[in-house]
Amino acid sequence: MTTNNDDVKLIGAWASPFVWRVKVALNLKSVNFESIEETFAPKSQLLLESNPVYKKIPVLIHGAKSISESSIIVEYIDETWTSAPSILPSDSYDRAIARFFLVYIVSRCNILLFPAIKSIAAAQGDDEKKKLIKELGEGLVLVEDALKKISNGKDFFGGDQIGYLDLAFGSIFPWLRVVETLHEVQLLDEATTPGLVNWGQKYSKHDAVKDVLPEHEKLVGFAKFLAARAAAAAAASTPN
């Protein structure tokens, strides 16, 4: 069932966690949209015109309006298509808490996960790699605590339904699994993060999600490609 016949396009890229977040939000609201895969090299005219400030994906194009930045797009979607259940909590205090933990999860992610993926690939020694993995694991225990507090014992941060924080952590989760595979470590397990393990199973099977997240092996291959490219660039810039 779709709730609109609006003209909605999304400029994205299949491997981008920020794009997944927006796609799941559109699915939750049953919004029909055209998915446009960005070319990057060079950047498409459509991207340059619709996000002239940052020139970054995702960009949601709704009729003549362009909206950038994934969190802002998700709030726009939530406030524009109001006939489906809301993504942010309806109470103003619960919304504040969700926004706070979003910043927290995203900053953890920026501080730990993405640098970890890059640095682990580039890490010279085993010690450095171990240290990064350890920090990442500690960050996840904090997210586990946040899930416990916010979900009230339900499956999702949003309770029985996928909410704002589920979209955020849902973007991080598949890349965590990639780090686990690439580096033969276990970041999430029943002993230390049982809530997140359960969360991952429920989230990835959800109707709004299952066709959005790429297959694990495809992401692993992409991560290997990125690591090889980073290594080649590092080698090229090393003075002889």
The residues binding its own copies (CB under 8 A) are 53, 62, 65, 67-69, 72-73, 75-76, 79-80, 92-93, 95-96, 99-100, 103-104
Q: In residues, how long is the chain?
A: 240
- CB neighbour list of residue 78: distance below 8 Å, 6 or more residues apart: 25, 29, 86, 87, 88, 164
Please name the residue ranges forming H helices in the chain.
17-28, 45-50, 70-80, 92-108, 114-122, 126-151, 164-183, 194-205, 216-237
What's the min distance (Å) between Cβ of 67 and its own copies? 5
CA atoms within 13 Å, Cβ hemisphere of 108: 23
What's the min distance (Å) between Cβ of 124 and its own copies? 26
What's the min distance (Å) between Cβ of 71 and its own copies? 8
Q: Which is closer to its own copies, CB of 83 or CB of 92?
A: 92
Q: Which is closer to its own copies, CB of 80 or CB of 161?
A: 80
Q: Which is closer to its own copies, CB of 100 or CB of 225?
A: 100
What's the min distance (Å) between Cβ of 88 and its own copies? 10
What are φ and ψ of residue 187, in 5° steps?
Answer: -90, -35
Q: Which is closer to its own copies, CB of 80 or CB of 192?
A: 80
Q: H or E stretch including 60?
A: strand 59-62
